[in-house]
C-alpha cells in the first residue's frame, strides 16, 4: 500500500498556498492523502506566529504528535511555516517528536529535503531556516484544494515593518514573481477549469517594486483580467498607503476584478497609526474610501483592526469607533494586540491591560456586527451573481456561493442541479450579520 500524508494548516492564505505546494511535492513522491492525521505516514504542520493565540493552538497540536510518534517512530513529523522560521531550534529542543523544521523560504525545495531525510540511515533531525534560500519562482507541483478557485502568490515577504508585526522577520524581504510566470500559472489554471484566482502577497500594491517596475500591480491586474476563462480576480492584501486612485480606476473599469476592497486600517487614531508605522493618516484613509465609493458605488469595503496597541488611550479607541461608524464596513476582522517579541512595539512600555483590550474588542465588535447587518440588509430584494461553492456546511439541501464582494449566500436546492464553480443569479430575501439568504433564479 502506498504511503500517505496529512497537512494541518494554520495562518493566512499564503500558508494555505504553501500547503498546496507541500502537498504537490509529497504527491510527486508517491504519497497519497490521508483524511485522518493519525493514519498518515507523514504529518506536516504549517504554522503561523502572527498572534500568541495562534501559537498556543499550534503548540497543542505539536504536542499531540508525541503519542503518534511514540506509537510509530517511522512516521515523519514536519513543522513548517512562520513559527518554524521563528522558533525552529527551540521547537526541536522542546518537542523531540519533530523530525524536520522547514522555514518559510524552503517550500520550493521541500521535496529534496524530505527525500534526503527519508533516504538517510541516521535520520538526523534538521532545521532549514535560511531566509536567503528562496528562489523567486516556484516550479514544483501543487495539489489545489478547491476545484474552481486558485491561490496564486505574486510576491513573497514584506518590507513594511509595521511595528506590531512579526511577518517581515519570518518571511524576509519582498520578492516578486515575474509577470510571465504568474500569467502562465493562471492561464493553465483556467484551462483546467478554474474560474477564480486570488493573487497573494503581504502588500500586493508593492508588486514589482523590488524589480524597479512602475505600476506593476495595475498592469498585472489588467493582464489577468484579460485571461480567457477567468471569471473572478481577487487579491490580498492591499496596503491603504499604496492604493492609488489609478488602481481604483483600473479595478472599476475591469471586467472580472472583484469590487471588493480589503483595506486594513488597523486604528482610527493618527497617533496610533503613526506609532504602528503604517504610513497614512486617518484623513488620507478616509479619502481613499471616498474615492473607492466614487468610482465603485456598490463596492464592498472590509478591514482589519487591532485594539489595544501600546499607548492606545480611551480617546484613541474612540477615534477607531468613530472611523468604523463613518466608513460602515461590510466586514471588519478585529484583533486584540498581541505582543510579538523582536518587534518594535513589544519594547513600548505603555502596554494596555488585557481586560481593557477585551472590553474594547467587545465594544468594537458590537458596533461592527450592527454595521455588517445594515450593509447586508441593504442587499435584500436585489438579484446578485454568485459563484457556486457547493452544499452548505451543515445542510446538503441548502447550497452556498459567494458574491463578487465575497459575501456568503445560501439558497435551498429546490429540485435543481447546480454546477460547482458556475455563476448563478440569486434573489436575496433575508440578511444576517455574516450571510445572505435567497432563492436561485432561473
**Residue numbers at the binding site for ligand F3S (CB under 6 A):** 11-12, 14-15, 48-50, 81-82, 167, 170-171
The helix (run of H) or strand (run of E) holding residue 7 is strand 4-9
Under the criterion CB under 6 A, does residue 264 sit at the interface with ligand SAH? yes
Chain-centre distance for alpha carbon 414: 34
Torsion, CA 305, CA 306, CA 310, CA 315, rounded to 10: 50
Look at residue 207 and give the partner it binds from ligand SF4, ligand SAH, ligand F3S, none, a contact being a CB closer than 5 to 8 Å depending on partner kind.
Answer: none
Under the criterion CB under 6 A, does residue 344 sit at the interface with ligand SF4? no
Map the footprint of ligand SAH across residues 298-317, applying CB under 6 A: 304, 306
Stretch that binds ligand SF4, among 69-77, 155-163, 177-185, 329-337 (CB under 6 A): 155-163
Q: What are phi and psi of 426, to 5 degrees?
A: -125, 130
Rg of the chain over CA atoms, in angstroms? 22
Decide: 269 and 307 in contact? Cβ < 8 Å. no
Closest C-alpha among 221, 111, 105, 200 to residue 150: 200
Stretch that binds ligand SF4, among 133-141, 164-172, 192-200, 209-217 (CB under 6 A): 164-172
Residue 379 C-beta: closest distance to ligand F3S, Å: 30
Residue 84 C-beta: closest distance to ligand SF4, Å: 17
Q: Output 19 or 392, the one with its CB closest to ligand SAH.
A: 19
Map the footprint of ligand SAH across residues 126-185, applying CB under 6 A: 164-165, 167
CA pair distance 415, 136, nearest whole angstrom? 49
Closest C-alpha among 103, 152, 137 to residue 211: 137
Neighbours of 440 (CB within 10 A): 19
Burial pattern 307-341, b for ≥16 Cβ within 10 A else e, equals: bbbbbbeeebbebbbebbeebbbbbbebbbbbebe
Three-point CA angle 285, 235, 26, nearest 5°: 140
Q: Output 331 or 410, the one with its CB closest to ligand F3S.
A: 331
Under the criterion CB under 6 A, does residue 411 sit at the interface with ligand SAH? no
Look at residue 161 and give the partner it binds from ligand F3S, ligand SAH, ligand SF4, none, a contact being a CB closer than 5 to 8 Å depending on partner kind.
Answer: ligand SF4
CA pair distance 161, 154, nearest whole angstrom? 19
Residue 334 C-beta: closest distance to ligand SAH, Å: 8
Which one among 335, 351, 380, 435 touches ligand SAH, defined by CB under 6 A?
A: 335
Q: Output 302 or 403, the one with its CB closest to ligand F3S.
A: 302
Closest C-alpha among 118, 6, 13, 117 to residue 61: 6
The helix (run of H) or strand (run of E) holding residue 76 is strand 76-81
Closest C-alpha among 278, 189, 291 to residue 241: 278
Residue 12 C-beta: closest distance to ligand SF4, Å: 9
Which x/- pattern over 18-57 shows residues binding ligand SAH (rule: CB under 6 A)? --------------------------------xx------
Closest C-alpha among 50, 115, 107, 119 to residue 80: 107
Q: Output 179 or 239, the one with its CB closest to ligand SF4.
A: 239
Which one among 104, 160, 238, 371 touches ligand SF4, defined by CB under 6 A?
A: 160
**Whose grid coordinates read 439558497?**
411
Residue 432 C-beta: closest distance to ligand F3S, Å: 27
The residue count for binding ligand SAH (CB under 6 A) is 16
Residue 306 C-beta: closest distance to ligand SF4, Å: 9
Stretch that binds ligand SF4, among 38-46, 161-169, 360-368, 370-378 (CB under 6 A): 161-169
Map the footprint of ligand SAH across residues 268-297, applying CB under 6 A: none
Which one among 26, 80, 165, 409 touches ligand SF4, defined by CB under 6 A?
A: 165
Burial pattern 53-73, b for ≥16 Cβ within 10 A else e, equals: ebbeebeeebeebeebbeeee
Q: Which residues bind ligand SF4 (CB under 6 A)?
A: 158, 160-162, 165, 167-168, 202-203, 239
Q: Which residues bind ligand SAH (CB under 6 A)?
A: 50-51, 164-165, 167, 202-203, 237, 264, 266, 304, 306, 335, 337-338, 340
Amino acid at each position: 500500500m502506498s504511503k500517505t500524508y496529512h497537512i494541518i494548516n494554520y495562518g493566512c492564505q499564503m500558508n494555505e498556498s504553501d500547503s498546496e505546494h507541500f502537498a504537490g511535492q509529497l504527491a510527486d513522491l508517491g504519497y497519497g492523502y490521508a483524511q485522518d492525521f493519525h493514519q498518515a505516514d507523514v504529518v506536516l504542520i504549517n504554522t503561523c506566529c502572527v498572534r500568541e493565540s495562534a501559537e498556543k493552538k499550534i503548540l497543542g497540536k505539536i504536542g499531540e504528535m508525541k503519542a503518534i510518534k511514540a506509537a510509530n517512530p517511522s512516521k515523519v513529523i514536519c513543522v513548517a511555516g512562520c513559527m518554524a522560521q521563528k522558533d525552529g531550534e527551540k521547537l526541536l529542543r522542546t518537542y523531540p517528536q519533530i523530525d524536520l523544521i522547514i522555514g518559510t523560504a524552503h517550500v520550493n525545495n521541500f521535496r529534496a529535503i524530505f527525500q534526503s531525510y527519508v533516504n538517510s540511515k541516521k535520520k538526523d533531525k534538521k532545521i532549514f531556516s535560511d531566509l536567503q534560500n528562496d528562489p523567486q519562482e516556484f516550479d514544483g507541483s501543487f495539489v489545489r484544494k478547491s476545484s474552481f478557485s486558485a491561490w496564486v502568490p505574486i510576491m513573497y515577504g514584506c518590507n513594511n515593518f509595521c511595528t506590531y508585526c512579526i511577518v517581515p522577520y519570518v518571511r524576509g524581504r519582498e520578492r516578486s514573481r515575474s509577470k510571465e510566470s504568474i500569467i502562465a500559472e493562471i492561464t493553465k489554471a483556467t484551462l483546467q477549469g478554474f474560474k477564480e484566482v486570488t493573487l497573494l502577497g503581504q502588500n500586493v500594491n508593492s508588486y514589482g517594486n523590488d524589480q524597479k517596475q512602475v505600476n506593476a500591480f495595475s498592469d498585472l491586474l489588467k493582464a489577468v483580467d484579460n485571461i480567457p476563462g477567468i471569471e473572478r480576480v481577487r487579491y490580498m492584501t492591499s496596503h491603504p498607503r499604496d492604493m492609488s486612485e489609478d488602481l481604483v480606476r483600473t479595478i472599476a473599469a475591469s471586467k472580472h476584478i472583484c469590487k471588493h476592497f480589503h483595506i486594513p486600517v488597523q486604528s482610527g487614531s493618527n497617533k496610533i497609526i503613526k506609532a504602528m508605522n503604517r504610513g497614512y493618516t486617518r484623513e488620507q484613509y478616509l479619502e481613499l474610501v471616498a474615492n473607492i465609493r466614487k468610482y465603485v458605488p456598490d463596492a464592498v469595503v472590509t478591514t482589519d483592526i487591532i485594539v489595544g496597541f501600546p499607548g492606545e488611550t480611551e480617546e484613541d479607541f474612540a477615534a477607531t469607533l468613530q472611523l468604523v461608524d463613518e466608513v460602515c464596513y461590510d466586514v471588519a476582522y478585529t484583533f486584540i494586540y498581541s505582543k510579538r517579541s523582536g518587534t518594535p512595539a513589544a519594547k513600548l512600555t505603555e502596554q494596555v491591560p488585557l481586560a481593557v483590550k477585551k472590553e474594547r474588542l467587545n465594544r468594537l465588535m458590537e458596533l461592527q456586527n450592527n454595521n455588517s447587518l445594515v450593509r447586508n440588509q441593504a442587499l435584500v430584494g436585489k438579484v446578485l451573481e454568485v459563484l457556486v461553492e457547493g452544499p452548505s456546511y451543515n445542510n446538503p439541501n441548502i447550497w452556498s456561493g459567494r458574491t463578487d464582494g465575497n459575501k456568503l449566500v445560501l439558497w435551498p436546492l429546490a429540485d435543481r442541479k447546480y454546477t460547482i464553480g458556475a455563476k448563478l443569479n440569486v434573489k436575496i430575501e433575508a440578511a444576517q450579520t455574516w450571510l445572505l439568504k435567497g432563492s436561485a433564479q432561473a
